[in-house]
C-alpha cells in the first residue's frame, strides 16, 4: 500500500503541473472565483489541495500530503464511555455494529490531529473494509487473536496499548479508562514519505445533489442501540451522543449504508457471537443533507476498494464536509432506518 501512496503523490504532482501549464494559456480568473464558503469547493480524487476525508479545501498554506497515515481510532459508544473525548476533531466517523446489538465508532483523524482521545476500545474484523480504502492505521486497545491476524494480513498497521501515547485515566474504571494522545501516535506513525490518501467518499457540492425527500430527523437502529439525528442550523445533531459537551462531532451529512452482517467466528467474554459487517458488494444508501434525504445505492468491489454511490439517474456525490456514516444491518439482521419531516 505504500507504493500506492507514492503513486498517488506522483499522479497528484503531475496533475498540478498540467493544470499550471493550462492556466498560463487560459482566461484570467481571480483567486476569489470559488467564493468565500470553503464547502462550495468540490474535490477531485487525489487533489493535493483538498482533504481526502472531507473534500474540503486545505487552508492556511497547509498540505493534504502528510507524513502520517489516516489514523482510525476505535471509540467506545456506550453510556459507560461518557464523556467521549476528542470526537469533534475527527474528519469522519463510521458507526459499526458489535456484539449484543450495540455499536462502536471508528473515528478518522487526518487533517486535525488532537491530543487526548478516548475511551479507546478493541478491533473488529469489520474494520478491514472500513479502514483499508485509505491505507489507514488503526488505533485500538487490541483485539481477538484471529482478528488481529486478519488485520495484519490486510496490511493495516495497528497501534495498541503499549504504543506511544497510551495511558490509563485514573478517574475512570477499566476498560473505559484507556486513552491515547493522538499527536504522539501520529508522530510514531510517520514514515518519512509524505503522501495524500485517495478520497474516502465521492466528493461534490450541495448543488450537485438531486431533489430529495424532506427529512429533518432520522434514526439508525442497530438492534439494541439506535442513533438519532436532528437537522438544526445547517448541521445534524446527534440526539443521544456520549461526547463531552462542546466536543460533539459536527456532521454536515449523515450517510446511511445498509450492509449484510456475518459471523466473525468467535464470541465475546459474555458469550455473545461477534458480528462482522461485510463492507463490500452493494446495498441501499440514503444520503441525509440539508434537511433532505436522497435515496440510492452503494458499491465496493473489494474490502479495500473506494466507496461508490449512485442514484437511478447516475453517480451520486457527497457535499464536501464532515460526514457520519451509519453501517446499518439490513432488515433481516435486525437493523432499521426511519426518518421524518
Three-state SS letters, 243-311 = ECCCCCCCECEEEEEEEEEEEEEEECCCCCEEEEEECCEEEEEEEEECCEEEEEEEEECCCCCCCEEEE
- pLDDT at position 46 is 63
Q: Model's pTM, two decimal places?
A: 0.86
Q: Is 100 helix (H, G, I), strand (E, B) or coil?
A: helix
Burial class (CB in 10 A: 0-12, 13-18, 19+), 171: exposed
Question: Which pLDDT band, with edges at 50, 70 and 90, does 331 fall under?
Answer: confident
Measure the CA–CA gap between 177 and 103, rounded to whole angstroms: 18
Q: Are 80 and 311 in contact (CB under 8 A)?
A: no
- pLDDT at position 4 is 41
For domain 71-189, give the CATH number: 3.50.90.10
Burial class (CB in 10 A: 0-12, 13-18, 19+), 222: buried
The residues that bridge with 220 in the sheet, in sequence order, are 227, 337
Of residues 146, 2, 180, 208, the one with CA closest to residue 76: 180
pLDDT digits (tens, 9 = 90+) for 247-294: 999 999 999 999 999 998 888 878 888 899 999 999 999 999 999 999
Percentage of residues in the chain having pLDDT higher than 70 = 87
Task: Say which CATH architecture domain 203-340 belongs to.
Answer: 3-Layer(bba) Sandwich (3.50)
pLDDT digits (tens, 9 = 90+) for 181-207: 999 999 999 989 899 999 999 999 999
With 50 as the cut, is the pLDDT of residue 44 above it? no
Q: What is the mean pLDDT of residues 81-85?
A: 96
- Domain borders along the chain are 71-189, 203-340
With 70 as the cut, is the pLDDT of residue 126 above it? yes
Measure the CA–CA gap between 57 and 193, rounded to whole angstroms: 22
Judge whether 71-189 and 203-340 match in fold.
Answer: yes
Q: What is the mean pLDDT of residues 82-87?
A: 97
Amino acid at each position: 500500500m505504500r507504493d500506492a501512496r507514492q503513486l498517488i503523490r506522483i499522479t497528484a504532482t503531475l496533475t498540478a503541473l498540467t493544470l499550471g501549464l493550462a492556466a498560463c494559456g487560459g482566461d484570467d480568473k481571480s483567486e476569489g472565483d470559488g467564493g468565500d464558503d470553503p464547502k462550495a469547493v468540490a474535490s477531485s480524487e487525489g487533489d493535493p489541495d483538498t482533504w481526502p476525508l472531507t473534500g474540503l479545501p486545505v487552508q492556511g498554506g497547509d498540505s493534504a500530503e502528510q507524513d502520517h497515515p489516516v489514523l482510525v481510532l476505535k471509540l467506545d459508544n456506550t453510556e459507560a464511555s461518557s464523556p467521549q473525548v476528542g470526537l469533534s476533531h475527527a474528519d469522519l466517523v463510521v458507526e459499526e455494529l458489535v456484539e449484543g446489538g450495540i455499536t462502536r465508532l471508528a473515528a478518522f483523524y487526518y487533517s486535525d490531529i488532537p491530543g487526548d482521545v478516548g475511551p479507546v476500545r478493541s478491533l473488529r474484523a469489520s474494520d478491514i473494509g472500513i479502514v483499508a480504502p485509505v491505507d489507514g492505521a488503526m488505533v485500538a486497545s487490541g483485539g481477538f487473536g484471529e482478528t488481529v491476524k486478519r488485520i495484519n494480513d490486510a496490511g493495516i498497521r495497528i497501534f495498541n496499548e503499549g504504543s506511544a501515547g497510551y495511558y490509563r485515566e485514573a478517574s475512570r474504571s477499566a476498560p473505559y479508562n484507556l486513552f491515547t494522545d493522538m499527536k504522539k501516535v501520529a508522530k510514531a506513525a510517520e514514515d518519512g514519505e509524505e503522501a495524500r490518501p485517495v478520497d474516502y467518499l465521492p466528493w461534490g457540492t450541495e448543488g450537485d445533489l438531486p431533489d430529495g425527500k424532506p427529512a429533518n430527523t432520522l434514526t439508525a437502529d442497530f438492534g439494541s442501540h439506535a442513533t438519532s439525528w436532528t437537522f438544526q442550523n445547517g448541521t445534524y445533531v446527534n440526539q443521544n451522543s456520549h461526547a463531552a459537551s462542546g466536543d460533539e462531532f459536527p456532521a454536515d451529512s449523515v450517510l446511511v449504508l445498509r450492509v449484510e452482517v456475518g459471523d466473525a467466528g468467535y464470541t465475546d467474554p459474555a458469550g455473545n457471537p461477534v458480528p462482522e459487517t461485510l463492507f463490500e458488494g452493494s446495498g441501499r444508501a440514503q444520503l441525509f443533507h440539508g434537511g433532505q434525504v436522497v435515496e440510492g445505492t452503494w458499491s465496493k468491489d473489494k474490502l479495500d476498494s473506494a466507496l461508490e454511490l449512485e442514484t437511478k439517474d447516475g453517480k451520486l456525490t457527497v457535499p464536501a464536509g464532515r460526514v457520519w456514516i451509519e453501517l446499518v444491518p439490513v432488515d433481516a439482521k435486525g437493523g432499521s432506518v426511519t426518518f421524518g419531516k
